[in-house]
Structure 1
C-alpha cells in the first residue's frame, strides 16, 4: 500500500508543477509589480507627474523629521511649526522616474491635505494645507531631472477661505484653476483671481451635504465639455456654471454609501471620444465607506462595494450601479492608455483617517469602460499595503507609479501599516513582452498642437493588427484617492500609410476642437494598437 502511494508522488508533483506554472502565467497576464525606490525619504501624500517624466512627491511639514535631509546642510526655521521649529529634513522630493533617484525639495509651510493642478506652462500651482498653510499658494515650475527647480511660496497672494481638504480643477484657458470646498469651507474661489478684490463664492451643495464627520471634503470636480463643472459631495451632485455662479442642474442622489472624505470613494470623468464629438460625458464613482465609519471606527464597517456611472447630458440622468469584486475604501482610480480604469490601493473596512481602516487590499481591479459583460477583472496582487495617504499616477511608459501610505500622525516605521517610504510601479498586462511585436513606437509628433488642427505622427511597429488609436492623457494632482483634473481624450486619426522604411508608418491626427474639451496643458500622447500602447510623448495643447 505504501509503495502504491509513493508511486503516485511523481505524478502528483507534476500536476502541482503544472498548476503552479499556470498560476505564474496567469499572474503575469494580470500585470507585474516592481519596487523602484527602497526609501524615498518621505511618504507621498500628494503625487503629480511633470512633463519631464519626473514625479513631485509631497507630504506635510507638521510631522517631525522625515527620512531625507535638506541639501547642503540647510534647515527650515518656522516659528509656527507644531513639531520641529528647526527642521533639517525635506517634506517633498523630486523623483526621476528614469533613474529612480530622488532630490530633496524645500516646502516652507504645512501642505497637509492640500490640493493643486498643473497650469498650461507646466507649472504646478498648489494651494492650501493646514495650520500656517491654510491660505498659502505655492508654485513649482518643473525642470529636467538634472536641474534644481524648487517650490516657491507666494508672498503676494493668499486664498480667501482656508482650504484644507479642497479640490482643484484647471479651467479652459490653462492659466487659472478653481478651488472648491475644504473643511468647513462651503465655497469656491479662483487662483489667480479673475479681478482685483474678488473673494470666494458660496456653494450650497457643500453645506447641504455636510455631516457630523464631513463626507463633503475633497469634493469631486470635473470640467465637462459644455464648459460647466460637475461637482459631487457625499452622495449628491450638481452641474455648476461657475461663470455666473448658477446651479444649472441637480443630479439624483447616488445609491449606497457616502463617497467623499473621510469616506473615500474615488471618481473619474470617463474618456471623451471624437466619435461622438466629445459630447458623451460620463462620470464614474466607485467605493466609499459606510455612514459614520469614521466617527465609529471601532466597528470597522465593511466598505462600499458599488460603482455608479451617470451620463450627465442624458435627458433624465440616472446612476447605473454595478458591484466591484470586493468592498473598497481609499481606492485610487487611474485611467489607463487603453481607456479602461485601474482601481488600486485601499482597504476593505473602515474609512480614511489615522488608524481607522483595516483589511488592506493588495489586489487591483480593472474596470472595462466599454465592456459591460465583463466589467471587472481582478489583477495581480502587490505585497505592500497602501491605505490612508496613498497615491497612484500614470507614467508615460504606461506603468502606474504607486507611492505613500501613512495612517499615523507621525512617521511610524514599525507595527501594522507602517509609514511607507517605498515607491513601486505596477505594470499592466499590456506591457508584457509578448505584445512587443504589435507595440507602436512614436518616432515623430509635435511638441505643441493647436485646437482643431491636424498634425502628423509617424511610428514604427513590427506588425499592424487591430484598431489604432491616439489617446491624450493629462497629468492630475493625486491625493486622498482622488486624481484632480484627470482627463483622457480619444482623438480622430487617418488610416496608417506605409513609409519607405520597413515597419514605418504615418497617420494624421485631429486635435480636440476647443479648450473646454481639453484645457490648455501638457498631455501625454499615447499611440495604442489593438489595446497595446507604446511610450507616450508629451505635447502642449493651446
Structure 2
C-alpha cells in the first residue's frame, strides 16, 4: 500500500520533507490469515504418543484440512461399519482425536492419490471386489460380505471438510484398471496417473501390466511409457516428481527417465545405483527443499530399498531374511543425468518414510531391516509378512550438515509399534508427524506377529515445545509472481534478539498423499525475502510470492510456515495459484527492498507527536527509516524520496 506523506514541519533544521512511503505490514493482498498461536506442550518430545484409533488400517493417509486427516485402507473386515458393511476409509480429527467412518464406495486397495489445483483430493485405482482373505468376489458389482465394487478403474473425489458432512464420490472412471498407480499434480493443477497393473500380485508381469499414463481431467486415451514397458517386474508405483522444467522425473526398477508429457517423449537417464527403490523394494524417497539459495533446483534423494536382481523377484525363496540396503543416492536431473552417493542410512531399511519437516530437515521412520514390502503364504513368511526386524527408532537427515554427519538419532526415542507394510505418515500443521497403519495381512488379523494396526501415533520433533513464531500478514492465497507481501514478527517471535530475523525461512510445504513408503506430491519451497529489523526488537519480512513457474510449486493447498532459528510457526493453510484447474497466471516477482536492521535507541532527529501518533527518524543502510506509532500500534516505515 502506498501513501503520499504531506509536507510536515519537523524542526527548524528540517523544515519540509516530501516523500512516498510504504507501510511494512500494511500492504493488503487478499485476506490475511490470523496468527496460528502456540502448540500445547507435550511430554513426548522426540518421542511417540498414541493419540487415537484409525477405524480403517491406514494404508493411505493425507492431511485434508488444518484439523482433519483422511485415512484409506483396502477392503477388509474392519470392525467399524458404514452403510451396513465394514468401513475401509475414515476421517480423524487432530483437535478432538475422534474418528468418523467414511464410505470409499469401491475397493481402494493400493490406490494412488494427490490433490488438484482446486483443492479436491483424488484417490485413483485399486483392486477388484473381494471377499474374506482378499479372495475375488463372485460379483464385481458389490455384495456380501463387504459390498465393495471393483475399484480398479475408479476415480474417487473428496472435498475435505471440518463439519463431518463430506464423503468420497465417484468420478468418471478410467478406461483401464490400475492397481499401484502413481499420481502427480501438474503445473496446471490437473493430475497425471502413471502405471499400475490389472489384478496384482507380489510384483507385476507382462500379462497384466499397464505401462501407460493418462490424466485427470481426462485428455483422451492412455499413452504408452517406454520406461514402464522396460522395467518389469518391479515397475509398480513408479517414483515420480514434476520438475521446474515441466518435465516429469520417473524412476522404475533400476531405470530412470525424464518424461515430456506434452510431447510424449522420454529421455533415459543413468540407472539408479546400489538398490531398487520402487515397490516392493520400497526405499524411501524425497525431493529436497527448493530454495532461493539453490536457485530452485530439484534434487531427489533415495534411501534404502533392496539390491534384489530382476530375476529374483519371485516368491520361492527366503525374502523376509534378505538384508535391506542402507544406500542413499541423490540426483539433480536437470543439472546432471547421473546419481551421486550421499550419507548412507545408519542401517539397511525397507519401507522407510522420508518426510519433509518445516525446518528443512528430513525425518525417516517406519520400516524394517530385512525383506521387502508385500505379504503372502509361503514357508518363509513371518505370519504373512515378507519383512522382519522392524526399525522402531527414527533418524533425521540434515541436508545442510557436513557430508558424513547428516544422519542423527541424538535424543530420539523409539516407538512401541511395528510399522511395516501398509504403514503411512504425514506432517501435521503444528510440525508434528502423524504415523499410522501397518498390515502385512490379506485380511484383518490382530493376532499375527505383525498384526493389523489401528493405533494412531504422533511423533513430536525437537522444536515442538519451543515458543512458536506467530507471524502476522500471511495471505490466504499466493500467486505465481507479483507483489511481495509483508509479515510482521514481534520481539517474542524473534526470541528477544532482532538479529534472529536473519535466520528466517518462509516455507510452503505440500504434505502429499502417503502410501507404500511414498508421499506423492510432497515438496517444500522456500520463498525469497528481505527483512527490516526495528529498534524495539520486532521485525518485518518482505516476502516474495512463489516463483512465476507453477512447476516449482504446483497449484493447490499448501501449508505456510515461518521458521525462526529453526523453530517453525504453526502452519497456515494457503491456496497457491488461482484455486482452479487450468493455466495459472504468472507475472514477474516484484523486487524486494534492501534488508536492514535498525539498532535500538538509534535516532537522528526529534520526535513528532500528535493525537495518538509519534514519529522517530533514523537511518538504515542509507535509507531514511521512520518508527511510527499510531493509536498504540507500532510499525516501521521505509522512506523513499520521490516528490522533492
Distance 1:416 1:316 in 2: 43
Counterpart for residue 171 of structure 1: 186
Is 1:103 equivalent to 2:100 in the alignment?
yes
The 8 Å contact of residues 166 and 182 in structure 1, kept in 2 or not, is answered as yes
Please state if 1:256 is matched with 2:289.
Answer: no
Aligned to 1:188: 213
Question: Once the 2 structures are TM-superposed, how far is the Cα of residue 252 of structure 1 from its aligned partner?
Answer: 1.2
Per the alignment, residue 202 of structure 1 pairs with 224
Asked whether 1:362 is paired with 2:389, we answer no
The Cα shift of 1:289 comes to 2.2
Tell me the equivalent position of 1:534: 569
Alignment partners' CA distance in 2, 1:99 and 1:504: 35
TM-score between both structures, scaled by the size of structure 2 = 0.72
Q: Does 308-317 or 478-487 show the bigger shift?
A: 308-317
Paired residues of 1:293 and 1:299 also in contact (CA < 8 A): no
1:517 shift after superposition? 1.2
Given the superposition, is the C-alpha separation of residues 362 and 276 from structure 1 closer, same or farther in structure 2, using an over 3 Å criterion? closer
1:67 CA drift (Å): 2.4
Q: Distance in 2 between matches of 1:373 and 1:67?
A: 48
SS in 2 for 1:441: coil
Change (3 A) 1:313 1:401: same
Task: Name 2:629's counterpart in structure 1.
Answer: none
SS of equivalent to 2:449: coil
The partner residue of 1:410 within 435, 443, 446 is 443
**Residue aligning to 1:287:** 304
2-structure distance, mates of 1:121, 1:36: 31
Among 275, 292, 311, which residue is 2:332 paired with? 311
Q: State the partner residue of 2:80.
A: 68
Say whether the 8 Å CA contact 1:293–1:301 is kept in structure 2: no
2:331–2:337 CA contact under 8 A, matched in 1: no
Asked if 2 retains the 8 angstrom alpha-carbon contact of 1:169 and 1:221, the reply is yes
- Equivalent residue number for residue 169 of structure 2: 152
- Provide the rounded CA distance (Å) in 1 between the counterparts of 2:46 and 2:127: 38
Give 1:472's match in structure 2, choosing from 508, 533, 537: 508
What's the CA shift for 1:529?
1.0
Q: Where do 1:106-505 residues align within 5 Å?
A: 106-131=103-128, 132-144=150-162, 146-154=163-171, 157-174=172-189, 176-183=190-197, 184-194=209-219, 198-210=220-232, 214-247=233-266, 249-278=267-296, 280-291=297-308, 292=312, 295=315, 296-298=317-319, 300-315=321-336, 317-354=338-375, 355-371=385-401, 372-378=403-409, 379-431=412-464, 433=465, 435-436=466-467, 439-453=468-482, 454-460=484-490, 461=493, 462-464=495-497, 465=500, 467-498=503-534, 504-505=538-539
- Secondary structure in 2 aligned to 1:206? helix
> Any gaps of 5 or more consecutive residues in structure 1?
1-27, 76-86
Q: Report the number of matched residues.
A: 479
1:509 alignment partner, one of 540, 543, 559: 543
SS in 2 for 1:139: strand
Change (3 A) 1:293 1:301: farther
Once residues 425 and 297 of structure 1 are traced to their aligned partners in structure 2, the CA distance between those partners, rounded to angstroms, is 34
Query: Which residue number in structure 2 is paired with residue 520 of structure 1?
Result: 555
Task: Report if the CA contact (8 A) 2:298-2:333 is conserved.
Answer: yes
Per-residue deviation, residues 19-68 of structure 1 (Å, max 9, x unmatched): xxxxxxxxx9981211110x22111100000133310100012x12x122
CA contact (8 A) 1:294 1:351 kept: no
Give a deviation string over 1:428-464, Cα, whole Å, max 9, x none: 1121x3x32xx31223311111111212223341424
Q: Flag the structure with larger Rg.
A: 2
Kept after mapping to 2: 8 A contact 1:160/1:189 = no
Cα distance in 1, alignment partners of residues 115 and 336 from structure 2: 34
CA distance in 1, matches of 2:331, 2:285: 11
1:95 counterpart SS class: strand
1:58-110 deviations in Å (ceiling 9; x for gaps): 0012x12x12222xxx32xxxxxxxxxxx2x3111111111111111112110
The answer to whether the 8 Å contact 1:112/1:164 transfers is: yes
Deviation of the 1:241 alpha carbon: 0.5
Q: What CA distance in whole angstroms lies between the structure 2 residues aligned with 1:30 and 1:106?
A: 35
| Aligned 8 A contact 2:509 2:525 in 1 | yes
Contact 2:504 2:564 in 1 (8 A): yes
Q: 1:104 to 1:231 in 2, by over 3 A?
A: same
Say if 2:186 and 2:242, in contact at 8 Å, map to a contact too. Answer: yes
TM-score by length of 1: 0.85
From the superposition, tell whether residues 299 and 505 of structure 1 become closer, same or farther in structure 2 (CA, over 3 Å). Answer: closer
Does the C-alpha gap of structure 1 residues 420 and 275 become closer, same or farther in structure 2, counting only changes over 3 Å?
same
Check whether the contact 2:69–2:94 (CA below 8 A) recurs between aligned residues: yes
Please name the residue that 1:8 is paired with: none
Q: Give the ranges of 4+ consecutive aligned residues of structure 1 lying more than 6 Å apart after TM superposition.
A: none
Report deviation, 1:288.
0.6
CA distance in structure 2 between the partners assigned to 1:148 and 1:29 by the alignment: 33
Aligned-pair Cα RMSD in Å? 1.8
CA distance in 1, matches of 2:299, 2:185: 19
SS of the aligned residue for 2:227 comes to helix
Query: Does the 8 Å CA contact 2:286/2:300 hold for their aligned counterparts?
Result: yes
- 1:365 CA displacement: 1.2
